[in-house]
Amino acid sequence: MLTVAVESQNVFYRQGMISMLDYVRQSKSLNDYKILDADVKNFNETANIIFTDNAVIINIFSKDKTITQPGKKSGQPSAIHITFNVSGLFIEDIHSFIVRIFTAATLPHDGVEKSDFYRHFKIRKNAQLSEPEKRLVLLSGHGHDIRNISHIMRCSTNSSYTYRRNAIKKLGMDNRLQFYKYVQILNKFEKHNNIFICL
């Protein structure tokens, strides 16, 4: 059974998301899941799927309840981070997106390569974040500004601006404000091995 958490300060968003999950359960044959209460502590360590205001985090658990990276038998904790911007979407689009999230959470991740994961979800590899873009996203989440990021990554400030612009575009964000809200959430739910999926 999957455990699902909805993390939001907005009570209406939380209730709407729970209602949407129930709607998806009634119309599709999803695996059983349990929604964790809002007051549960450390749900980041127990929840398989965490819905936030603008992101979905899928914790990858192996059989011994440790989180591992796809393609590796054991290792550091891992999580898949997916942007989740529902503004302007129809209910059917949100419905199919949630079904894809549940499918990703129920895949057997032990021994699965990233290329197999991309192929299964029909994700274009060139639309995913590059390594410098991933690093910029993580450093932004830690509170570094562009100048510090340029210094840490040993690249020019203009390159850092380009990496940020490309990351914003690939993640489907409308502006920098959404991007910085997203990276703050990532900082809260960061694992040792972070996998970014741009759907």
Label each residue of the chain as H, E or C.
CEEEEECCCCHHHHHHHHHHHHHHHHHCCCCCEEECCCCCCCHHHHCCEEECCCEEEEECECCCCCECCCCCCCCCCEEEEEECCCCCCCHHHHHHHHHHHHHHHHCCCCCCCHHHHHHHCCCCHHHCCCHHHHHHHHHHHCCCCHHHHHHHHCCCHHHHHHHHHHHHHHCCCCCHHHHHHHHHHHHHCCCCEEEEECC
pLDDT at 67: 42
Q: Which amino acid is at 123?
A: I
Q: Are residues 108 and 145 in the same domain?
A: no
Q: Which amino acid is at 78?
A: S
Q: Which tokens belong to 57?
A: 């985090």
d(CA 50, CA 116): 23
User: How many CB atoms neighbour CB 25 within 10 A?
Assistant: 15
Is-contact 60 79, C-beta < 8 A? yes
pLDDT at 83: 86
Q: Which of 163, 166, 58 is nearest to 121 (CA)?
A: 58
Residue 150: phi and psi, rounded to 5, are -60, -40
Q: Are residues 99 and 184 in the same domain?
A: yes
pLDDT at 60: 80
Q: How many domains does the chain have?
A: 2
Q: Which amino acid is at 8?
A: S
Q: Are residues 18 and 67 in the same domain?
A: yes
Q: Are residues 10 and 54 in the same domain?
A: yes
Along the 199 residues of the chain, how does pLDDT read in single tens digits? Answer: 888 999 888 899 899 999 998 888 887 766 678 888 877 777 878 888 999 888 899 888 665 444 444 444 445 568 888 888 877 888 888 888 888 888 888 877 665 566 666 776 777 777 889 999 999 999 999 999 999 999 999 999 999 999 999 999 999 888 999 999 899 888 887 766 778 888 7
Give the residue numbers spanning the domain of 150. Answer: 130-170
Q: Are residues 109 and 136 in the same domain?
A: no
Length of the chain: 199
pLDDT at 164: 96
Q: Are residues 22 and 9 in the same domain?
A: yes
The b-or-e profile of 103-121 (16+ CB within 10 A means b, else e) is ebbeeebeebeeeebeeee
Q: Are residues 31 and 119 in the same domain?
A: yes
Q: Are residues 53 and 119 in the same domain?
A: yes
